[in-house]
A and B are shown apart, each in its own frame.
Chain A
Amino acid sequence: MTLTRRGFLAAATATAASLAAPAFAAATPHVVIVGGGAGGATAAGFIRRLAGDRVRVTLVEPSATYITCFFSNWVIGGLRTMADITHDYARLPASGIAVVQARASRIDRDARSVVLDDGTAIAYDRLILSPGIDLRYDALPGYTEAASEIMPHAWKAGPQTELLKRRLDAVKDGGSIVMLAPANPYRCPPGPYERVSLMAHVLKSTGRTKARITVLDAKEKFSKQALFQEAWEQLYPGMVEWLPPSVHGGVERVDPAGSSVVAGLDTFKADLVNVIPPQHAGAIARTSDLAKDGWCPVDATSMRSALDANIFVIGDAASAGEMPKSAFSANSQAKVAGANVLADLLDWPRPDPRFFNTCWSLLGPDDGVKVGALYAPKDGAIASASGFLSAPGETAEEHRRSAAEAEAWYASITAEMFG
């Protein structure tokens, strides 16, 4: 059962007065979580599992269903369906999590409340903010929200994923695809290159080996570069071309009507243009003055906002040192933040954080590579303490095992998020 806003208010009438009556609020502290993705949904479950009824947990999320951006490349590659990556929050209330299906429009930091888009205020003792990313439609001339219907980004999973898949399936043999990959930092560093691999797989497996994918990158190098380039050469020869800015001269603008991309040294016309635009923290983090230069600075031991001691920021919106923006990172950060929230509210000991991430990427079906690390606070920043990276030239069996790990991880993390 998901509580509506009205239902939530009815159920919580007594506690809604917590601001006016601090003594009552002290009885059962209230943790409000904004955003039901890999960060927020994980944090909600973690806190309830550890603390039980010692705290109240409210998760504010506008969507009834959640489509994971992680594994959406598998849908584009024809290896998963949209249904496979679509989840809901129906099982969370059984764990004592109040799910409020509404958009949080702002944070009243002085009053310690989250204000929903209808004006309802939900008071919190601690707030965990996990709003993900917003795409920047002001960063690339010509690329607007309307343009994304012609040049899909598919960097938030949902209709955009399906649009890109349809457009990919319509590319003819001999056709051309251009992908624009953004500068760092952005959600899922190896994601664009996994997508290139799986788009090439779709083209190749349907006999369209004369189609060509050109990546116009905003960076001179990228995540797992040697592994991806090895795979493109071996699996998809002649189908993938990657161009850094030193070669294309920098992307200056896109022309959706003409289906072209204008770069400093050339203009690229294509049947399909996939624009992965620059990004910044979700709007509520920026409009609440919790971000600097687009991302939210946090304490490296706890994920506590550097700008508000009652708020923790986790996931893609956080500026988390050397940790990449990934679902695994968000999940790991959720547990660090959750433990520190409980330490604040229940006077429990603070564990030493063990931040962890693994990014698995598919090169083709049952063919995966991985990069990851254990991270720890160092000199005030989250830094890699023990990392790993698949080596070029690994056996097919090693790649098969990495792909199988990715599948098992997906099943586990989504079970942890959605029950």
Chain B
Amino acid sequence: MAAGEGHLHSTHLVRAALLSVAMVQTVSGAARADGMPIAYLAETCHACHGKGAGQGIPALTSLAAPQIAEAVRAYRDGTRKNAVMNAAASGLDDGTIRELAAYLASNR
């Protein structure tokens, strides 16, 4: 995806922004069908980064979307080390990470 990276980047940002707005506006905090895959992915984070996070595991609540995305990319690439997160982030593509970060930052 290297050749089209710039284009994909902006597309994903717009998609992520629209997605997160749609998510917050639905009734009962419920996700919309088209947001399902990212909502599912975000839910997988909460087993660890939920209400107990802050001491041994960082809370995501104080982080903006770009910070979350940067951290997840760094864990995926191994430039930031934590055994659990290196495995948890493995195989995620940049677009998915941006959408995931946007979702996590907008649904707290």
Query: Do the beta carbons of B51 and A415 come within 8 Å of each other?
Result: yes
B31 pairs with A413, CB closer than 8 A: no
Q: Is the CB of A351 within 8 A of B50?
A: no
The distance from the CB of A57 to the nearest CB of chain B, in whole angstroms, is 12
From 1 to 55 in chain B, residues with beta carbon under 8 angstroms from any chain A beta carbon are: 26-31, 33-34, 36-37, 39-41, 43-44, 46-55
Which B residues lie within 8 Å of A66 (CB)?
A: none
Bound Cα distance from A302 to B55, whole angstroms: 33
Closest Cβ neighbor of B51 among chain A residues: A415
Please tell me the size bucket of the interface on A: 35 or more
**CB of B106 within 8 Å of the partner chain:** no
Contact partner, B41, options A348, A354, A403, A415, Cβ 8 Å: A354
Q: Is the CB of B87 within 8 A of A408?
A: no
Q: Are B36 and A409 interface neighbours, CB within 8 A?
A: no
Q: Given A348-B36, A349-B37, is A408 in contact with B53 using a C-beta cutoff of 8 Å?
A: yes
Assuming A342-B36, A374-B88, is B55 touching A354 (CB within 8 A)?
A: no
Q: Which residues of A contact B39 (CB under 8 A)?
A: 50
Closest to B30 in A: A52
Chain A residue with Cβ nearest B86? A388
A236 within 8 A of partner (CB): no
With A49-B43, A409-B47 as contacts: A374 and B91 at CB distance below 8 Å:
yes
Name A50's closest neighbour in chain B (CB-CB): B31
Other-chain contact of A50, B27, B43, B48 (Cβ < 8 Å): B43
A295 interfacial contact with B, CB 8 Å = no
The CA of A358 and the CA of B83, in the complex, are separated in Å by: 10
- A348 partner, pick from B28, B33, B48, B53, beta carbons under 8 A: B33
8 Å CB contacts to B: which residues of A322-380?
328, 331-332, 335, 339, 342-343, 346-349, 351-352, 354, 356, 358, 370, 372-374
Known contacts A52-B28, A332-B47, A410-B52: A351-B83 contact under CB 8 Å? no
* Pairs A-B, 5 closest by C-beta atoms: A411-B52, A52-B28, A52-B30, A404-B56, A412-B50
